[in-house]
Amino acid sequence: MPPPEAGRAAAGGPWAPPGPPTPDAPAAAPSPREEFAAGLTRLREEAGLTVRVLAARVESPGAHTTIGGWLAGQSLPSLGSLPLFRRVLEELGVTDPADAGRWLERLADLRRSRTPRAARGVVPYRGLARFEEHHAEWFFGRDRMRDAVVERLLADGPDLPHLLVGASGSGKSSLLRAGVLPVLRAAHGFVPCLPAPGRAPASELVRAVRAVTGGADAVPDDPAGLTGHLRDWAERRDVRVLVAVDQFEEVFTVCREPAERERFLALLAALPCPRVHVLGALRADFYAQALQEPALAAALQRGQIVVGALTAEEIRSAVHGPAARAGLAVDEGFADLLAADLRDSGAGGLPLLSHALLSTWERGRGSVLAIADYRAGGGMSAAVSASAEEAYAALSESRRALARTLFLRMVTVGDGVPDTAGCCRCPAPPPPPATGAVRAPRRCTRCWSASSTGAWSGWTATAPGSRTRRS
C-alpha cells in the first residue's frame, strides 16, 4: 500500500481525507507527520496486529516502544533504523518494491523538513543542555532570582558561604553559570573558579584554583595554604574570586571516600575572605546529608538561597525572550499552554520545558513559534521520550547493548539517598578494531542528566527503560 500522499486522491479508499468539518466542530488539518503515522496505524489495524506482536514478527521484541512511537506520531524512523522500518512495512503488507519505495521517499521528505531552522545558525533554546556563562544573552526567566542572589552575596559579605538549594531540574546550574556569574564578572570584578566535585573533590578544587591563578608555582593543598595562595593572587590583581561549586551533591554520591570528602569540605570552609566568596548549588533531596556536615549546616542556616519553580510570568519570559532575540513571534497563548502543561512537573520541570521549546523551534518553518509545532512534537513530556527513542533506534544492535550498559553504569543508585547521575568506568576496549570502526572510550570522566533525560556525546542519553535525574 502506498503512503498517504500517493493514495489521497482515491475517493473512498483508505487514504481518503475525512469529510468537511461541521460548522460547530471545526477540525485542524492533520500535519504530514500525523498523516504518516495514521497511515502506518491503518496498515497495522488491517493486518490485525498489536504493536508487541508486530515487534516480535520483525524479530525485534524489545523495539515495541520504538515502533509504537512511529505509529503514534511521536517519532520518525531514523537512518539507523531503516532496516527495522523496512521489516515493519513487509509485515504490514507493503511487499511491492514501488510501494515500499514511496514510503521511504515520504519518510525522507519528513526528515528533511523536520529541522528547517537548524541551518540558520541561531538556536534560541538550549534543550536538555544547561546554560553556560557565554549563553547569558539567551538566558531569560530568572532575572529576579539572579538579582536576588547577587544582592545577597554582596550584602552578606565573603565570610558567609552561600548555597543555592532547589529540586532536581529547577535550573540551579543555569542560574549559577548564565545568571549570577556574568553579572558578578561584568559589574563587580569577580573571577570565577569552578571546581566540579566528582570522585576526588579536594583534588579537583586544588586543580581549579591552579587553573585560575596559573603560573609555575605549586598550589598548596592544605586549607591555610590554599586560601593564602588564592587571596594573594586576587590582591595582586585587584579582583575578587567566586568559588562556585555546581552539583554539590556529588560530594555525597560520586565521592566514595569519607576522608576525601572531609578534606574538600575543610578546604572550602577555609576559603572565604575579603577577596574570595564561595557559592554552591545543592539538590534539595540531599539536604539531610548536608546537615550532617557542620560546615554545610552553618551555610544552610545562614546562607541558604532557595531556587523554586518559575512563575507564570517567568515562564512567559523564558519563552518570549529567546524568541524575540531570534526574530521570532510566538503564538498567542503558547506560554500559557506551556505553563499549564508544566504545572504537574513542579519545580523540577525546567528541562522538559527547555526541550519542548527546542523541539517546537526545530519543527517550525516560518517566523512564528507555533502551538501546532509544539503539539506535533508530542507536547511537554512526549518530546523528550520521542527524542530518546529516536536516538536509541538510530544505533546498531551492538551499540544498543553498549548504550544500555553505559546508561546503567551512569546512574548511581542511592542506598538510602536519591538516585543520581554519576561517573562511570567503561569496560576495557576490545582488540584493535577493523579500519573505520569506532572504539569505545576507556573511561568516561563526566556525565550528566536532566530529570528523566540527559545528554551525552551529542545525543539524548535516556535508554528505554532507564531513568536518571539532573541536579
Q: Cα–Cα distance between 262 and 439 in angstroms, integer?
A: 38
Q: What is the pLDDT of residue 80?
A: 67
Q: Cα–Cα distance between 166 and 159 in angstroms, integer?
A: 23
What DSSP string runs through 293-331? SHHHHHHHHHHEEEE-PPPHHHHHHHHHHHHHHTT-EE-
Q: Please, what is the end-to-end C-alpha distance for the chain in angstroms?
A: 48
Q: Where are the domains of the chain?
A: 4-112, 118-128+310-386, 142-307, 395-429+439-471
Coil vs helix vs strand at 48: coil
Q: Is the dihedral of CA 266, 267, 273, 278 positive or negative?
A: negative
Q: Is the dihedral of CA 87, 88, 89, 93 positive or negative?
A: positive
Q: What is the pLDDT of residue 7?
A: 45
Contact assessment for residue 21 and residue 27, using Cβ atoms and an 8 Å cutoff: yes
Split the chain (471 residues) into runs of 10 and give each run's mean pLDDT: 50 38 53 86 92 86 82 79 88 88 82 54 85 95 97 89 94 96 96 94 95 84 95 96 96 93 96 95 95 93 94 96 94 95 82 92 86 86 74 73 83 62 52 44 35 32 35 39
Q: What is the pLDDT of residue 27?
A: 53
Q: Cα–Cα distance between 399 and 104 in angstroms, integer?
A: 24
Q: What is the pLDDT of residue 385?
A: 77
Q: Cα–Cα distance between 376 and 114 in angstroms, integer?
A: 11
Residue ranges of alpha helices (H) inside 332-466 are: 334-342, 350-363, 371-376, 379-393, 397-410
Phi, psi of 460, deg, nearest 5:
-65, 120
CA distances from 122 to 322, 325, 375 (A): 10, 9, 23
Q: What is the pLDDT of residue 417?
A: 55
Q: What is the pLDDT of residue 121?
A: 56
Contact assessment for residue 264 and residue 271, using Cβ atoms and an 8 Å cutoff: no
**Residues composing the chain:** 471
The position carrying cell 533531596 is 285
Q: Cα–Cα distance between 175 and 305 in angstroms, integer?
A: 12
In the CATH hierarchy, which fold is given to the domain comprising 142-307? Rossmann fold (3.40.50)
Q: What is the pLDDT of residue 446?
A: 35
- Give CA angle at 147 (141, 148), nearest 5°: 105
Contacts of 60 (CB under 8 A, 6+ apart): 84, 87
What DSSP string runs through 169-229? TSSHHHIIIIIIHHHHHHHH-EEEE----SS-HHHHHHHHHHHHH-SSSPPP-SHHHHHHH
The position carrying cell 584554583 is 209
Pick from 283, 277, 85: nearest CA to 192: 277
Fold match flag (4-112 vs 142-307): no
Contacts of 448 (CB under 8 A, 6+ apart): 130, 247, 421, 454, 455, 456, 470, 471
In the CATH hierarchy, which fold is given to the domain comprising 4-112? 434 Repressor (Amino-terminal Domain) (1.10.260)
Kindly state the cell numbers that stand for 327. 526574530
Q: Cα–Cα distance between 405 and 387 in angstroms, integer?
A: 19
Give the pairing of strands 162-166 and 304-307: parallel
Q: Cα–Cα distance between 215 and 212 in angstroms, integer?
A: 9
Kindly state the cell numbers that stand for 360. 517546537
